[in-house]
Structure 1
Amino acid sequence: AVWCPTCILQAAYIYKLHDLLGHPDDLISVSLDVDLNEDTADLKEYTAEYGFDWHFAIAPLEIDRALGNLYSAQYLNPPLAPMLIIDRQGNVHLLPYGLKDTETLQEAVEPYLNQ
């Protein structure tokens, strides 16, 4: 969510992760905005303001519901910084709730990059 200070900080750590790892082609980040009050224009302004250069999308209500049903309603609470990793085989790995710094993200993704 563009209003969420935790989200901005988490995204900054993701940005630093890509830099730290040298922008590998097989590390693809996607940020889903689950705030139904925001739109594409909000996201474009947000990504331009902070220089975030990966994929951002507004999650439609159906996706919000599916995320909530699959992983819990906490996945729809942006300040909890919910994140998951999808590996090369399509397996989903949930990361702990809360802000994850660059080093923590690196530890989480590197095993899957080296598969």
Structure 2
Amino acid sequence: MERYTRRRVLAAVGGSGALAGCLGGSDDGGGGGGSGDGSSDDGDGGSGENEQATWRTAELTNVRSGETFTIADLGKPVMLQTFAVWCSKCLRQQRNIQDLLRREVDVRPVNLNVDPNEDAGRVRSHLREHGFDWRYTVSPSSVTDSLVDRFGSSITVPPQSPVVVVCEDETSRLSDGIKSADRLERALDRCQST
């Protein structure tokens, strides 16, 4: 009879949780609390924002074009989604961002791959396969660490479908779960009203 060690049990539970997070969930349920409109304050208002945070100022490389950019230099508003190529929820969120862009809204989307096992070539194949044509980049560890410092460790959990909206006067992380194009547009509308 095989003996189940604590390590094996914890690994099985953790793996099951990660798999469940990537497979389940609704398209627009929110899942992370908040106001029900896709926003979550989480203490992320503009007053305490560090404009010089690494995630804003680090040079990133667009895997499509090779251009370098920083979040701070893109103008406002910016919509930042952290993701991994293997994550089906991430793909659903990216399709909703694509739907939002078809509405010709004023936004600069950036998809930031936070899986340390995926490289620019793999990300490039992903966006070509799905027809995505906005900025995609692979997160340097310093940027990932800075995002965790600002928004907490769940910003690096792709199945949570993390999205951050950077407006002129504030930055907010939207509630976890897949956000519809309508919810994303409402979050951007708040940028115009601040």
TM-score, structure 2 as length reference: 0.54
Q: For residue 34 of structure 1, what is the aligned residue in structure 2?
A: 114
User: Unpaired segments of 5 or more residues in structure 2?
Assistant: 1-83
Tell me the secondary structure at the aligned position of residue 175 of structure 2: coil
Residue-by-residue CA offset, 1:8-52 (whole Å, 9 max, x unaligned)? 0000000000102x2x4x410001000000010011100100011
Task: Give the direction of change, closer, same or farther, for the CA distance of 1:113–1:27 in structure 2 (3 Å limit).
Answer: farther
Query: By percentage of residues, which structure has more helix?
Result: 1
- 1:29-68 to structure 2, matched below 5 A, reads 29-68=109-148
Q: Which of 82, 99, 102 is the matching residue for 2:178? A: 99
Q: Which of 86, 94, 99 is the matching residue for 1:3? A: 86
Q: For residue 111 of structure 1, what is the aligned residue in structure 2?
A: 190
Identity level (%) = 28
Between the two structures, name the one with larger relative contact order (CA 8 Å, sep ≥ 6).
Answer: 2
Which stretches of structure 1, 4 residues or more, deviate above 6 A after TM superposition?
none
- 1:15-34 to structure 2, matched below 5 A, reads 15-20=98-103, 22=104, 24=105, 26-34=106-114
Does residue 1:82 correspond to 2:162, yes or no? Answer: yes
Distance in 2 (CA, whole Å) between partners of 1:10 and 1:52 is 12
Task: Give the direction of change, closer, same or farther, for the CA distance of 1:113–1:43 in structure 2 (3 Å limit).
Answer: farther
TM-score, structure 1 as length reference: 0.90
**Count of aligned pairs between the two proteins:** 111
Task: Give the direction of change, closer, same or farther, for the CA distance of 1:103–1:4 in structure 2 (3 Å limit).
Answer: same
Tell me the secondary structure at the aligned position of residue 29 of structure 1: strand
Is the CA contact 1:27–1:113 (under 8 Å) kept in the aligned structure 2?
A: no
